[in-house]
Structure 1
Amino acid sequence: MKRIRIHVFLLLAGTLKLYAQTDELNQFWNEYAFTKDLSQKWALELNIGLTTSSVSHDNNIFYNLTQVYGRGWAHYRPDDRWKISFFYAYFFNKNVPELNQKEAPEIRMAVQGMYRLLKEGKCKVNLRARFEDRHLQNEDGYFEAVMRFRFQVRAVYSFTKNDVDKNAFYAFVSDELFFKTKSQVSGPDLFDRNRATIGLGYFLTDDIQIEVSYANEIMPREPINQLVNAFQINIVFNDFLPNLIKSITPKKPIIE
């Protein structure tokens, strides 16, 4: 009986130690996406986003502006299941909790493949793999190369119709694993993080789509693990600017 008590005590002590070594933060993620279809196979996309975060002594989700970024995409669809994408981006990182310095400007490039595992009916499942080539500026002024691999499974369920398009109201859930190489800025860990997301989306019009979600991000670190609770709002404008210009441009009178 005494031995059992000792084991229970050690288990509780280990649990409390793990909890004490976890730093929990609240964040707000916001992104605006502008897309333009060039043809049935090719499309362009521009993302503009920002991240704010709480700190250990203040739970205000908007306490710090930690990241501002711009990202340009080129998408290629060889068929109705595959989409191959490339992007080039600039991230201004400041007081990012998981980085080892206050400011870390970053240039990021990536190649990404997405596969539609289930594409029929109201429930659709996508698999996504991404290789990122990150160049983070260290305190000595040099850009360190960090390779990162991400794999995501995402399911979308439409409440109103089979296709997720105009007037569609839908829910989505995803889980993503991150692995990286070590560096002075990003740390020595191979496993970077796990990100689980759940949310709702709605097409306001053919051109405007909004998604609201909650993300839980776990980052094992030494000596303190990090846990992020993020509230996210993404707004997508599909061919919005060309259609807007077209709608406000006066039509030429037809001369018979």
Structure 2
Amino acid sequence: MSCNPTSNIVLKNICCFIATLVTTGICYGQSTTYNQLWNEIQFNRTLNDKWSAELNIGGSYSSTESSPNIFEKNIQKTFRGWGHYYLSPRWKLSTFIAYFDNKDVPEIGQFKSPEWRFALQGIYYFHKTGYTLSTRMRLELRHMRNGNEEYENVLRYRQQIKYLQPINSKVLREGVIYAVASDELFFKSGTKVTGLRFFDRNRLNIGAGYLLTDDIQIELTYANEYLPRDNGNQIVNAAALTISFNNLYKNISKKLHKNETTTSDE
């Protein structure tokens, strides 16, 4: 497949931008570095032409200041339910409610901090030939417990830009490999549990994905986070693994029904 010159220029610009931010974040002040593994399984279900539902189940592991072992601590378990509304081909509006079982999360502290999270989100897609560029806006309300076992409300705003390009096809379908890169800025209200700084963090992601079928895909990315904190800045290097299933129950039911029909015909 011939390369699109315009997409190559955009990809190079994004890579340069990411490299600059990574270098700036790493060089900024005294920092503690953690190595982490993030993993998530996503189940998506189409309800009709405008609506879909989604369930996420995830977990995270982390090294500590005294140990470089990426599996030293199981720091977080996540359960999240989504509702998605497709306003137009360019706009996707979403909301979710989630429960985060936080424990020994480096950015929060070495204590258990259960959290309920609510969010409103909008994604705008710039559809281009050969690649997709999107921007995501998300407002989160985090209801979480601090070290004094008191619950606090944290408002957080997130702004992301994301670039996705299929490698061996012009569209995403079975057997296609794609490259993905994104950068996201986080801003928050000040509280005891997350600190008083307005700027929460910068998250960079770069990696690739593969569609096993039209409805099953796997994505592996490298994430770099820079977190300015009151008691010392932090840098997180994480491997993020995401597996997505679209209409899993419906597809299994359809396949079983097809097999039963074939068997009865014989």
TM above 0.5, yes or no, is: yes
The structure with the largest alpha-carbon Rg is: 1
Cα pair 1:171 1:199 within 8 Å, conserved: yes
Structure 1 residues 213-252: aligned runs within 5 Å: 213-249=221-257, 250-251=260-261
Residue 216 of structure 2 aligns with which residue? 208
1:60 paired to 2:69: yes
Identity across matched positions, percent: 44
1:96 paired to 2:114: no
User: What SS does the aligned partner of 1:105 have?
Assistant: strand
Quote the Cα distance in structure 2 between the aligned partners of 1:73 and 1:146: 20
Cα pair 2:195 2:230 within 8 Å, conserved: no
TM-score (norm 1): 0.88
User: What SS does the aligned partner of 1:233 have?
Assistant: strand
Cα pair 2:111 2:147 within 8 Å, conserved: no
- For structure 1, the residue ranges without an aligned partner over 5 or more in a row are 1-17
Quote the Cα distance in structure 2 between the aligned partners of 1:19 and 1:191: 14
Higher helix share: 2
- For structure 2, the residue ranges without an aligned partner over 5 or more in a row are 1-26
Cα pair 1:49 1:68 within 8 Å, conserved: yes
Can you list the C-alpha shifts for 1:206-240, whole angstroms capped at 9, x where unaligned? 22100000000000122311000000110000111
Quote the Cα distance in structure 2 between the aligned partners of 1:28 and 1:68: 12
Cα pair 1:210 1:235 within 8 Å, conserved: yes
Residue 6 of structure 1 aligns with which residue? none
Structure 1 residues 75-94: aligned runs within 5 Å: 75-94=84-103
Q: 1:244 to 1:187 in 2, by over 3 A?
A: same
Structure 1 residues 116-155: aligned runs within 5 Å: 116-117=125-126, 119-155=127-163
User: What SS does the aligned partner of 2:261 have?
Assistant: coil
Cα pair 1:122 1:159 within 8 Å, conserved: no
User: What SS does the aligned partner of 1:251 have?
Assistant: helix
Structure 1 segments (4+ residues) deviating >4 Å? none
Amino acid at match of 1:98: E
TM-score (norm 2): 0.85
Can you list the C-alpha shifts for 1:126-166, whole angstroms capped at 9, x where unaligned? 00000000000124433210000000000001112221222
CA RMSD of aligned residues (A): 1.6
The aligned length equals 236
